[in-house]
Amino acid sequence: MSAETYIAKTIENAPDAIASHVRWKISLMLAARMREPLSARAIRSLQHPEECSIRKWLVSEHTLHLRGTPEYHAALELHTAFHGQMLAIANLINAGDYEQAERLLNAAEPFQNTSTALANAIMALDRTPAGKPAAQKERQPAMRKTV
């Protein structure tokens, strides 16, 4: 099973990041259900969160304005944690233990909770006041005082 098409996607915003996150979950589920190992490239991507398109987005110019926020730091930490969960499942898939991989994919703890927490953290970035540039107010003509 190859995740090649998902690895190269460029992420520019939170909805793109969520889409990438969901594609990885689907890739793992399909690999487990179809009883197919993951590609070496997919495993490498899981082993190296810093090379992931979500991480690249998190450290890109798109999120510069979020760097000092707790939401940003939470997203970084949860992204790394989620990679650890995905890698554990991917290792089971590639070892041929498809049943255990499916059990972990469907279990609330730790996979689903970590996945949900990461998705929530990504969406929180979109709602963070520091995360949105201040709206430009329309310039009103100055009121003239009449006497």
90 contacts: CB under 8 Å, gap ≥ 6: 28, 31, 38, 42, 43, 46, 101
Which DSSP string corresponds to 82-146? Answer: HHHHHHHHHHHHHTT-HHHHHHHHH-IIIIIHHHHHHHHHHHHHHH-GGGSPPPPPPPPPPPPPP
User: In this prediction, what percent of the chain has a pLDDT beyond 70?
Assistant: 82
Residue-wise pLDDT tens digits, 21-75: 999 999 999 999 999 999 999 999 999 999 899 999 999 999 999 998 999 999 9
| Rounded distance between C-alpha atoms, residue 77 and residue 118, angstroms | 9
Residue-wise pLDDT tens digits, 104-120: 999 999 999 999 999 99
Please determine, for residue 103, whether its predicted confidence score (pLDDT) is greater than 90: yes
129 pLDDT band (50/70/90 cuts)? confident
Which of 14-18, 41-45, 107-111, 138-142 shows the lowest per-residue confidence on average (mean pLDDT)?
138-142
For 91, other C-beta atoms within 10 Å of its C-beta total 15
Single pTM value for the model: 0.79
